Amino acid sequence: MMSDKDWSDMTPRERDAWIAEWMGHRPDPSRCRICGWSIGESIADGCTYDNCSMRPPPSKRYDDPLPYTTDMALVRLAEDKIEQYGLQWEYAQTLAFIAAPSSFHHDQGCYGTAWIVLRSTPDQRCEAIWRMMQTASDPVEA
């Protein structure tokens, strides 16, 4: 699942949306992307593609992605998928170099690397998955 932007150029919402799509979560296109009601022919039927009928609009949009880049419990689900694909070693290596680009901690051996990975943020973990998938081929892509 290639991305046309680099991770550092993506907004938090774009990052969450990318991970969510990789996890297989896609908003139902037959529903209003704002409130989630079904799309009708006219506003009398509910919402149209360009016009949500809910006033005021909901504080959380139907198409808001789950907050993978800030929620460690959600990232664990993404890591389960990495493990199912047998990519856990490549993931750990990618994550270690994202979380600690300098060689200092890596010089501490496997425990130094383990510490780097243990202390990595959800955003760094999502970036590691994203970086791996920029070069992956099927069937790893969701």
Q: What DSSP string describes 46-84?
A: SBBTTB---SSPPSS-TTPPP-TTT-HHHHHHHHHHHHH
Contacts to Zn ion from residues 15-34, by CB under 5 A: 32, 34
- The least distance separating Zn ion from the CB of residue 45, rounded to whole angstroms, comes to 11
- Determine which residue in the list 13, 14, 27, 35 makes contact with Zn ion, applying CB under 5 A: 35
- The least distance separating Zn ion from the CB of residue 59, rounded to whole angstroms, comes to 13
H or E element, residue 13: helix 12-22
- The least distance separating Zn ion from the CB of residue 28, rounded to whole angstroms, comes to 13
Report the distance separating Cα 41 and Cα 140, nearest Å. 38
Q: Does 52 bind Zn ion (CB under 5 A)?
A: yes
